[in-house]
Amino acid sequence: MAVQRIVVDPITRIEGHLRIEADFDNGKIVNAFSSGTTFRGLEKIMEGRDPRDAWAFVQRICGVCTHIHAIASVQAVEDALGITIPKNADLIRKIMTATQFVQDHVIHFYHLHALDWVDVVSALKADPKATSTLAQSISNYPKSSVGYFTDIQNTLKGFVGSGQLGIFANGYWGHPAYKLPPEANLMAVAHYLEALEWQKDIVRIHTIFGGKNPHPNYLVGGMACAINIDNDNTINMERLDLVAREINKAIDFVNQVYIPDLFAIGSFYKDWGFGGGVTNYMSYGSLADDKTRNTKDAVFPGGIILNRDLSKVMDVDPRDPEQIKEVIDHSWYDYTGDKGGRHPWNGETTVKYTGPKPPYQQLDTAGKYSWIKTPQWMGKSMEVGPLARMLVGYARGNDVIKTSVDGALQKLGVGKESLFSALGRTLARGLETKIMVDYLKTTYDALLANIKAGDSKVFEQSKWDPSTWPKTCQGVGFTEAPRGALAHYVKIDNGKVSLYQAVVPTTWNAAPEDQQHQKGPYEAALIGTPMADPQKPLEIIRIIHSFDPCIACAAHIIDVNTGEPLNDNHFFY
Amino acid sequence: MNETFYQEMRRKGYSRRDFLKMCGLLTAVLGLEASFTSRIANALETKPRLPVIYLSLQECTCCAESFIRTAHPLLSELLFNMISLDYMETLQAASGLQAEEAKMKTMQDYKGHYLVVVEGSIPLNDDGIYCTIGGRSAKDILLEAAQNSVAVIAYGSCATNTCVQGAYPNPTGAVPVKNIVAHVPVIDVPGCPPIAEVIAGVIAHYLTFDRLPELTNLGRPKAFYNHRIHDNCNRRAFFDAGMFVENFDDDGAKQGWCLYKVGCKGPTTYNACAITQWNNGVSYPIKSGHPCIGCSEPGFYDNFPMYEHLAHVPITAMPFEPDKIGKWITGLTVAGVAAHGVATGVIKRLDKEPRKDEEAGK
Amino acid sequence: MLKKSVYVWESPIRIYHWVNVILITVLVATGLFIGDPIFTRPGEAYAVFIMGKVRLWHSMAAWLFIANFIYRLYWAFVGNEHAQFKPWRKGFVSDGIESVKYYLFLTKEHTLHLGHNVVAQLAYFTVMWIGSLFMILSGLALQGEIFPGGLQARIAGWMIPLFGGGSYALRSYHHLTTWIFIAFVVVHLYLVIRQDILDDDATVSSIINGHKFAMVDGEDNHDKH
Ligand code: HEM
Ligand code: HEM
Ligand code: SF4
């Protein structure tokens, strides 16, 4: 049989616009191409702006990772200007980061990923009684009575019966790749709805400190939310109590619903070991101690693993021009002069669209085919994200991560090699969420202790005024986003941004191939995967979803640079 | 929206038998037991849920994230009882071809009866290459979906004022929905993102009162955008009293004073933040100590720097400060006047001789 | 050269003028304060009301300013010819060119007008008529924001979408135009004092008592139009 080109566009249940083209032969995917199909060009927009405003622009890179880009941005500017933020601000930012991880991962699991494993229509056939028994056997979550599941099933029946299937319309229901029994499906659907309701509550932690979510507010030099425990219009006990309440709810939800579901569903799929992909993993590390700032023994340790060899970890330095480079062999950009890879400090984003004029059927994958660049570490494609973090942490010998990973593998009865798969990613995400809810609690306690000790400072004033800044300076803010390693680079000239660059997780993962046909992680993960029916790309989206794509982030939005001196005529401020 | 499927079929000359037969077929297609036939018939005889097509164009998905956070109505109530969300990339089960088919089906079956919600702007430069879905440009997709809809809700600042990608110099040529859609009503629901309950509220308003909400002079539903943040701000008393936060975390900040002098855009921002508040009434930026950045207003990114008091005139694309410009104008004027005065004096002295007899004449 | 005293500025114009001087001073001062409230006072919010008072004064002055404006508009129709502005009259353009030449020191003599010369008329027209009208409409629109659907919003609400940046842009233009008023006053004071010194025609006192000196044998061509 001739090689057949499968096009999946749009890939839904992700952030942004991703297109996958895959070559299908003999029941398997033999080659794959990942293309980001949207571009916003924020790089040009950033030029000449006030660096203190930068976070608000780059936060809008992505509304899903709504917190982390702003954090990376303020960190980059603080790094450039040499600002050390007060302890309270550091703790508050950490609480907000952990909150984002927990919320984002739960949404991903239930609302973006679950329907790849859970057959909603099959849930109609479930026996509520058996479902209740199943639910009670894996968790002490209070909502697990027969009546509860009967209700859910009736709602679902009414819904399906209406003939208007809404978001479930045209799903791949009944596809042979679905393996769960009806009862597990019903339980998962019930928790889909519970998670939907719960996720809107946890983000209130962002609302307390940042005023809203999505897109809470930040401040270069600290946080804007003044702490005064003896005032009614500031962070006081009532505000903090709300945070505590949401943290407790989150701990319950993750322990009683998410983790049990993850293992329950995972145990049915543990033989589906596809989607491994590239063999190198990278984490910048984040949530380090505010004094040492050492990412190697941070909550998420930084490092590099090559060839899935967990016995060795290498160090990674986002500032090193030798280590991090972006190539554009298959991306719709051009470099002036040398067309080889470039470090973000001297990167460039000049659009050179060579793709077909829309509407089109197929991309020319031999040439340039994506708005996403190809970042590499020492010339190698790297996978970033929860799996990379867990692997690096494991290899670094981080106790919490090690116990957690070993426990999970034991529980599922599989070996470490199972981690290198779509399921491994999904599992790592769950384990990480558990680590994060616990971290939320300890960080919250630390914040209370610090306030109790009499410290209420949240903002460092000394370097606020542009007249106190050096004439030129540059900084990096790197951290771990829910989807992986993130770094923002900024150069400041005469108080204005002269260069801004973000190299974001999905750029690493969704990258197109390079000149030597070294595949990006998405592409590599798809190759070799069998498909039951090439018309119904369930297997493809399952693997892609395991990465939790975020294309708005990836499609080189911010990569700047012109390097040329600022044209003052643009700006009057 | 007022006609049920059943009524429509009857109108088109089908009998009840045909109708029931179709229900049976549908049951089979959906792979359900025969007992579902009566349920389906029942559902089709009652008013169908409002079909909604939610398009994501050039955006960051913050709007969708906000949408799913709605607390009243809960998203599940909205999805199960009020609307039929037939297309929304962020949530729908189907991908690729199957997703597009679901959309086509709704556009055909509910011609003139479905609502389109658009998140994101439409990049027009270079034939629309900056945002394509399924190989088609954002503009095509929007026009096609809007054509037979009841109304288009431009949801979020991208769709109403192009938000960040439309900031100077707008490299992709992004335009808002109202520049593209002309023949059906466009309702602007701005904000980056809008408050969850606001978008849900606009849809519920339409469903409950059977008409589109009344709009303000800026084309937004009065129900949510009638007042400025400033008019309902919890720090307003301090504004009137002239008690301002001068620096972040100063004594004023610790007392919750007004943020006007650290750049609050509340006085020029129409939104429900101060009333509805965010995430089920918890807080909103000002309450949490950060000035309002004016995210629901056109061109707000070009009204920055964020932390300076609003005094920047967005003439063309770039802002500048009226006070600076003004002092400049005044300074130049004074200089000009002085120069002119000196020149007058000099010339007069040179002219003194011939003038003398005139003076004598007097 | 003989001079005679001519009654140029009727009392309504003089009253208008001085009321306007006071109101514009108040409006500029309060307006700039609203834009940048430099005096602040700590204390209980109920006890101090600085911003509120300043805004109140601005609004009160604004209403009087509107009334005064309408009053002057009325007088443009019923007043003497110095109260009018007629760009369509014969000789307007040539007079204008002459006046510009005069101020550029290209000619020594200027067209003789007891009222304003054409350049002055144009300046008064753009700043005082168009400028005031803009301040009034934009100001009303800003007031209308507080009570959507109210009187001011109905009269001037359309101003807000007119400017690309919405409410923010309008407010900024209102602020910017303030500076045009300030610059106008500078030029205005210079010109009247200069006129008085050079021609010794009692220009300055004319706005107080209404009378200017005119050359008896001088061409008094304004009478012809
Ligand atoms: C020559 C006349 C005027 C001048 C020089 C003037 C000047 C100003 C200035 C500088 C501001 C501050 C703008 C900012 O926030 O940056 C202001 C605000 C304002 N002006 Fe005027 N203005 C004039 C006439 C008027 C009139 C005629 C009205 C109303 C009918 C008006 C109503 C307002 C209002 C409502 C505000 C906003 C005050 C607030 O609530 O914060 N102004 N004005
Ligand atoms: C806010 C300040 C002022 C404004 C806005 C202003 C505005 C005006 C306007 C609009 C006129 C033309 C009268 C008409 O056609 O209705 C005028 C005339 C005049 N103003 Fe003022 N004025 C100001 C301050 C002053 C002051 C302080 C003086 C006193 C030195 C002054 C002296 C005069 C004189 C002498 C004339 C008659 C000019 C002529 O004969 O060409 N003005 N002013
Ligand atoms: S904080 Fe902002 S919105 Fe609130 S009163 Fe002050 S200026 Fe107005």
CATH number at residue C158: 1.20.950.20
What average pLDDT does this structure show over B323-347?
83
Predicted confidence (pLDDT) at residue A85 exceeds the cutoff of 90: yes
The pLDDT assigned to A45 comes to 80
Provide the mean pLDDT of chain A: 89
C216 inside 8 A of chain B by CB: no
Q: For position A545, what pLDDT does the model report?
A: 93
> pLDDT above 70 covers what percent of chain A?
96
The pLDDT of A517-521, averaged and rounded, is: 91
| Residue B357 binned pLDDT confidence (cut-offs 50, 70, 90) | very low
Neighboring chain B residues of C32 at a CB cutoff of 8 Å: 323
**Cβ under 8 Å to B: A residues 52-71:** 52-53, 56-57, 60-64, 66
Residue A526 has pLDDT above 90, yes or no: yes
Residue C110 confidence (pLDDT): 60
At residue B20, the pLDDT reads 79
Residue B208: predicted pLDDT: 86
Mean pLDDT across C177-196? 89
Ligand 1 atom at shortest distance from the alpha carbon of C24: 1
Residue C218: per-residue pLDDT: 45
Residue contact A193–B44, C-beta within 8 A: no
CA distance B215 to chain C (A): 12
Residue A563 predicted with pLDDT over 80: no
Q: Which two tokens stand for residue A272?
A: 């589906």
pLDDT at res. B38 = 72
Q: Among A207-211, A557-561, B291-295, where is mean pLDDT lowest?
A: A557-561
Between CA A353 and CA A360 the distance in angstroms is 14
Greater pLDDT, C143 or B323: C143
Question: Under DSSP, is residue A322 helix (H, G, I), strand (E, B) or coil?
Answer: coil
Q: Strand, helix or coil at B357? A: helix
Q: Looking at per-residue confidence, does B314 or A197 come out higher?
A: A197
Q: Is the pLDDT of residue B78 over 70?
A: yes
Residue-wise pLDDT tens digits, B201-259: 999 998 888 889 999 888 999 999 999 999 999 999 899 888 899 999 999 999 999 99
Q: What is the span of the domain harbouring residue C73?
A: 2-221
Cross-chain residue pair B284–A212, CB shorter than 8 Å: yes
**Per-residue confidence (pLDDT) for residue B29, from 0 to 100:** 61
pLDDT of residue A559: 35
Grade residue C112 by pLDDT with cuts at 50, 70 and 90: low
Whole-number pLDDT of residue B309: 65
Q: Read off the amino acid at residue A552.
A: A
Q: What is the pLDDT of residue C107?
A: 67
pLDDT (0 to 100) of residue C113: 59
Taking the centre of ligand 1 as the mean of its atom positions, its distance from the CA of residue C53, in whole angstroms, is 14
Q: Which of A53-62, A244-253, B24-33, C35-44 has the lowest mean pLDDT?
A: B24-33
Report yes or no on chains C and B touching (3+ CB pairs under 8 A).
Answer: yes
Q: Read off φ and ψ for residue B74, nearest 5 degrees.
A: -65, 150
Q: What is the mean pLDDT of chain B?
A: 84
Where in A436-513 does DSSP place strands (E)? 472-481, 484-493, 496-503
> CA–CA separation, A69 vs B156, rounded Å?
20
What is the pLDDT confidence band of residue A572, given thresholds at 50, 70 and 90?
very low
Q: Give the span between the Cα atoms of B124 and B127, in whole angstroms.
A: 6
Assign B139 to helix, strand or coil. helix
What is the distance in angstroms between the CA of the first residue and the CA of the last residue of chain B? 92
Query: What pTM did the predictor assign?
Result: 0.89
Q: Is B225 on the interface with C (CB under 8 A)?
A: no
Sort out which chain A residues have CB atoms less than 8 A from B70's CB and list them.
200
What distance in angstroms lies between residue C174's CA and the mean position of ligand 1's atoms?
A: 6
Question: What pLDDT score does B80 carry?
Answer: 86
Count of structural domains within chain C: 1
Q: Are A526 and A543 in contact (CB under 8 A)?
A: yes
Say whether residue C183 is in contact with chain B using an 8 A CB cutoff: yes
pLDDT at C31: 94
Mean pLDDT calculated for residue range A302-315:
92
Confidence of residue A344 (pLDDT cuts 50, 70, 90): confident
Q: What's the pLDDT at A381? A: 92
Contact between chain A and chain C (3 or more Cβ pairs less than 8 Å apart) = no
Distance CA A171, CA A179 (A): 15
In the predicted model, what is the mean pLDDT of residues B70-99? Answer: 89
Return the HEC string of A113-179.
Answer: HHHHCCCCHHHHHCCHHHHHHHHHHHCCCCCCCHHHHHHHHHHHHHHHHCCCCHHHCCCCCCCCCCC
Residue C134, chain B, CB below 8 Å: the answer is no
Q: What tokens were used for B331?
A: 């300074």
Question: What pLDDT is stored for residue A359 in this prediction?
Answer: 86
Q: Hey, is C182 helix, strand or coil?
A: helix
Q: How far is CA B75 from CA A20, B67, B82, B200, in A?
A: 30, 8, 10, 8
Domains of chain A: 1-64+279-358+367-398+480-573 (1.10.645.10), 84-275+421-461 (1.10.645.10)
C148 touches chain B (CB under 8 A): yes
In this predicted structure, what is the pLDDT of residue B145?
94
pLDDT at C85: 64
- Res A401: pLDDT: 95
- Please report the pLDDT score of residue A565 as a whole number: 29
Q: What average pLDDT does the segment A384-413 reach?
A: 93
pLDDT(B130) > 90 = no
pLDDT at B28 over 80: no
The residue contributing the CA closest to ligand 1 atom 37 is C142
Interface confidence (ipTM) of the complex: 0.89
**How near does any CA of chain C get to the CA of B67, in Å?**
25
C90 pLDDT above the threshold of 70: no
A237's CB contacts (< 8 A; 6+ apart) are A229
Mark yes or no for CB contact C167/B270 under 8 Å: yes
Kindly tell me if the per-residue pLDDT of A358 is higher than 90.
no
- Asked whether the bond before A537 is cis by omega within 30 degrees of 0, the reply is no
- The pLDDT of residue B298: 86
Q: Which helix (H) or strand (E) holds C107?
A: none
Interface B:C, Cβ pairs < 8 A: 162
Alpha-carbon span B146 to B354, nearest angstrom: 81
- Whether residue C76 has its Cβ less than 6 Å from ligand 2: no
**Residue A242: what pLDDT?**
95
Per-residue pLDDT tens digits for B298-308: 888 877 778 87
Pick the range with the lowest mean pLDDT from A401-410, A446-455, B36-45, C159-168: B36-45
pLDDT band of B1, cuts 50, 70, 90? very low
Q: Residue range A76-90: average pLDDT? A: 94
Q: Identify from C46, C159, C168 which residue to disrupt to test chain B contact, counting B C-beta atoms within 10 A and taking the largest count.
A: C168
Q: HSE, CB side, 13 Å, CA atoms: give it for residue B201.
A: 19
Q: Residues of chain B with pLDDT > 70: what percent?
A: 87
CB atoms closer than 10 angstroms to residue B212: 16
| Structure confidence at residue A178 (pLDDT) | 92
Please give the angle made by the CA atoms of A140, A145 and A151, to the nearest 5 degrees: 135
Q: Which of B71, B254, B295 sits opposite A200 (nearest CB)?
A: B71
For position B362, what pLDDT does the model report? 37
When pLDDT is averaged across residues B263-268 and rounded to a whole number, the result is 91
pLDDT at C210: 81
Inspect the interface and report whether the beta carbons of A63 and B48 lie closer than 8 Å: no
Instruction: Tell me the pLDDT band of A263, cut-offs 50, 70 and 90.
Output: very high
- The pLDDT, as a whole number, for residue A558 is 40
CB atoms within 10 A of CB A335: 18
CB contact under 8 A, C179 and B240: no
Atom of ligand 2 nearest to the CA of C8: 40
Measured CA to CA, the distance from residue A464 to residue A480 in angstroms comes to 26
